[in-house]
Amino acid sequence: MKLTKIMKGVLAAASIALVGSFAQAQQAGGSLVFLVQPEPPTMAGYVSTSGPIGLLGPKIYDGLVDYDNDGKMVPMLAESVDVSPDGKTITFNLRKGVTWHDGEAFTSEDVQFTIMDVLKKVHPRGPNSFKEVSSIDTPDAHTAVFNLDNPAPYMLRALSSYESPMVPKHHLEGQDVKTAKLANNPIGTGPFKFVEWKKGQYMRLDKNENYWREGRPYLDRIVGRFVPDASTRAAAMEKGEVLYAAYNAVSNVEAVRLNKEKDNIGLTTDGYSMINPMALLEFNTKEGPFTDAAVRRAISTAIDRQYMIDTIFFGYGKPATSALSSNFSATGLHAKMPNYPANGDVAAANKILDDAGYARDGNGVRMKGMFDLIPYGEDWKRGGQYIQQVLGEIGIQVELRYEDVPTWLKRVYHNYDFEMNLNYFYQLSDPVLGVHRHYGTNMIRKGTHFVNSSRYSNPELDALLSAGMTTPDATKRAGIYLDIQKILANDMPVVNLFELEFLVVYNTKLKGAYGSAMGAYASFGDAYLD
């Protein structure tokens, strides 16, 4: 399959669109202030996929390609891509004249280093995304040839600036990537350059005057504000102090109110087609009260997913029905599974626990546990409170714990010091990229964020996950993922709750920020103020 013509066609179409849409409308200059909640723990998006990093990192770093809202590939650092007929050789023809923010030239050696020495080793999803890449050849400064052991068509979907930011070899080579200074002083090739990080207040990025996209970016500056208080964030949006908020930085109920009351406040759910976010519960399967799969199935059965969507997330979402998002139905990979009632079934959950021998004490309690909540805003606190309530109805008494982001990340992914954790993950555009990391034994990676923190291990499932990566036949692949979903519906190391629909809240004076399938995780190189 040849993608060169496709890439060039997209580029031509994009050029036409830019002429037609921006030639008379765009305004150069100005500063965009937007909400980033919570504050990122680091800016090393090549090490951690913590959501707040994605709001700032892709403004600094480029990827090889991007995708528009229609799912079409858009050239970035790679001008074109050639895929060999057998799918085992992929050649990226790199853009010439690109420089890092420190003035050094971007070359194929940076691509080789980024994939083989960084993403494949330390990125949460990299070991799966690039598993089939055995080596990368660099015949010249502007050509990177990926050699694959097996075809991996899903890999091209993992090359955006959010998912796989290209990093400077000359700043990371010979260092411990996880602790390198680049994490807090990022240097990329993107449209904006890192200037200042005022902890607890803001991060400032200024226009890259030498950006490879001529005439971009339009904005002089981007400022990401960190505002812990939810009401203050909503007020800042209402007053026009900030112009953009995503990922529940402004709660859904406040977002809908602002849109109704203010003519200059818009809402959109566009821009998440490549993200495919899923709210979920993770369990410690090695110690604590939730090591028994029967208990985990009972918890999944008891939760009223539709209630959570309607009352906490203001109707934006869809009940989960399996370990895989229903968005995979288009490729035949999703199948509805038992133990996922949309409206919950407390009676059935109690029967599961009764049959498993978990008797109630004199206070009606079968077991006690600690329940950690993702520290990403008020909506998640309310979600935790609801789950605490419904678990009480089946005799499971849990204490809520809500900590700052670094403490929470360390607890869950470094120390495994948790019992049940409310979280959300991105399933992305293929299960290999976003689902496998929950369940594979190879993804038990102590110290790596957003992977298999449950420490769930099942050799039968591992074999199926491996087959799902390398089976090209669509019918056979669907059968493999059906078996995967059956196993996970029984073992339930992770309980999917609902498919999230994130709301973006924006001031209508902000234009051009909504063309990427990465949504808020896009570069904002086309954004401008009207």
Summarised one tens digit per residue, pLDDT across range 53-62 is 999 999 999 9
User: Could you give the domains of the chain?
Assistant: 277-500 (3.10.105.10)
Structure tokens of 508? 């209508």
Beta bridge partners of 244: 506
C-alpha dihedral (319, 323, 325, 331), degrees to nearest 10:
-140
* Residue 338 to residue 51: CA distance in whole angstroms: 30
pLDDT of residue 9: 31
Cβ neighbours of residue 209 under 8 Å, at least 6 residues apart? none
Residues 474-486, mean pLDDT to the nearest whole number: 97
Helices in 32-116 by DSSP H: which ranges?
A: 51-60, 108-113
CB 227 within 8 A of CB 241: no
Q: What does the pLDDT look like over 373-401, one tens digit per residue?
A: 999 988 999 999 999 999 999 999 999 99
pLDDT of residue 8: 32
CB 38 within 8 A of CB 228: yes
Mean pLDDT of the chain: 93
pLDDT of residue 25: 52
Residues 173-193, mean pLDDT to the nearest whole number: 96
**Which residue type, as a one-letter code, is found at position 322?**
S
Strands 367-373 and 317-319 come out as unpaired
Structure tokens of 101? 């923010």
pLDDT at 345 over 80: yes
Residues 343-367, mean pLDDT to the nearest whole number: 98
* Residue 252 to residue 379: CA distance in whole angstroms: 8
pLDDT of residue 371: 98
Question: CA-based angle 426:432:438, to the nearest 5?
Answer: 60
* Residue 278 to residue 319: CA distance in whole angstroms: 10
pLDDT at 306 over 60: yes
* Residue 183 to residue 177: CA distance in whole angstroms: 9
Q: What does the pLDDT look like over 7-24, one tens digit per residue?
A: 333 333 332 222 233 334
CB 196 within 8 A of CB 221: no
pLDDT of residue 527: 96
On whether the pTM is more than 0.75, the answer is yes
